[in-house]
Amino acid sequence: MTSQRSLPADDFGIYYVLAECTDYYDTLPVKEADGSQPRFQGVTGLRNLGNTCYMNAILQCLCSISPLVEYFLSGKYITALQNDCSEVATAFAYLMTDMWLGDSDCVSPEIFRSALGNLYPAFTKKTQQDAQEFLIYVLNELHEALKKYHYPRRRSHDKGSAQRCCRKWITTETSVITQLFEGQLNYSIVCLKCEKCTYKNEVFTVLSLPIPSEYECSLQDCLQCFFQQDTLTWKNQIHCSFCETKQETAVRAGISKAPKLIIFHLKRFDIQGTTKRKLRTDIHYPLTNLDLTPYICPIFRKYPKYNLCAVVNHFGDFDGGHYTAFCKNSFTQAWYSFDDTRVSEIPDTSVQNATAYLLFYSCQPFSIPIQKH
């Protein structure tokens, strides 16, 4: 994905709706699995192909994001496909269709893994991979396959400091991925010698948050640690264009463009020289009303509060372990645990746990994806 983009107006807002009636979902038809237990759309297990729990957990989370699923089930992706890199996106569309509209309790992601493995052979090996890295590869490949080009617009020149530090970058590429997942960070960089301030923008799809405690903390503690001012000294000095040499600097980050879906990566894996360890900190995170207002540039606070929609959990140690996912289903509005082929409904109170590794938050509740007939 390119490093500097902003998002044009899009039509994905129509897929975010508030449920007006709590018993609405009771009126919808359900599919029967094995002739006994009801199986709901989007509640489908995935077969483990040999240490592919990392892949299954990420795919379950993406499967729970209705605007993304809608894009593929409706067939919109077909007109956007780039001929030279369509294999991954097409395989993803087929998999989402099987998971939402198929009749099986579980399906195999073999075709999708094969398509992605043609580009990244590490994912075809029966070895454990990092779920966060896999997620980034998937989002990048979907973007490359579905991106569209837009002519740049004339940029308005604002004299105010807030507008200057938070202005958006002109874009030439957009896709369903950028429209849903991409945000932008703005870094204010102050030279501690000449006190001149410069600004740097950086797009993101996943925010990697430091964990400030070894025992217990909150997601807000992690966010405050990430967005606090940092002083760069010694070997970390930054070149100052005014002093024309490297200087000690004070750097502070803020969100200049908040995405509709924001993904937090909790940095549990720590490497200090030759020492590797996993932080088992119990991180408390809200299921609803996560307030990002303190970290969003004031003139761009369009989506200040977010609700949790999916979680990737990691069990085990640094060099091995097992991934599972918790996802909220837009059909039933209930939470489900996905452990490869094992799927079970869980209460809201079980969603908060000490093994969370990736957190998916949405600015609004999801509606049910609609298939194009």
What positions carry a catalytic annotation?
Answer: 53, 322
Residue of 300, 11, 15, 3 whose CA lies nearest to 173: 3
Please enumerate in sequence order all residues whose Cβ is within 8 A of that of 35, keeping only pairs 6 or more positions apart, or say none: none
Residue of 174, 206, 205, 183 whose CA lies nearest to 11: 174
Please enumerate in sequence order all residues whose Cβ is within 8 A of that of 279, keeping only pairs 6 or more positions apart, or say none: 211, 214, 267, 268, 269, 270
What is the rounded distance in angstroms from the CA atom of residue 202 to the CA atom of residue 15?
A: 28
CA dihedral for 289, 295, 298, 302, sign (positive or negative): negative
Contact 307, 289 (CB under 8 A): yes
Number of CB atoms found within 10 A of residue 328's CB? 22
Apex 349 CA angle, 345 and 350, nearest 5: 55
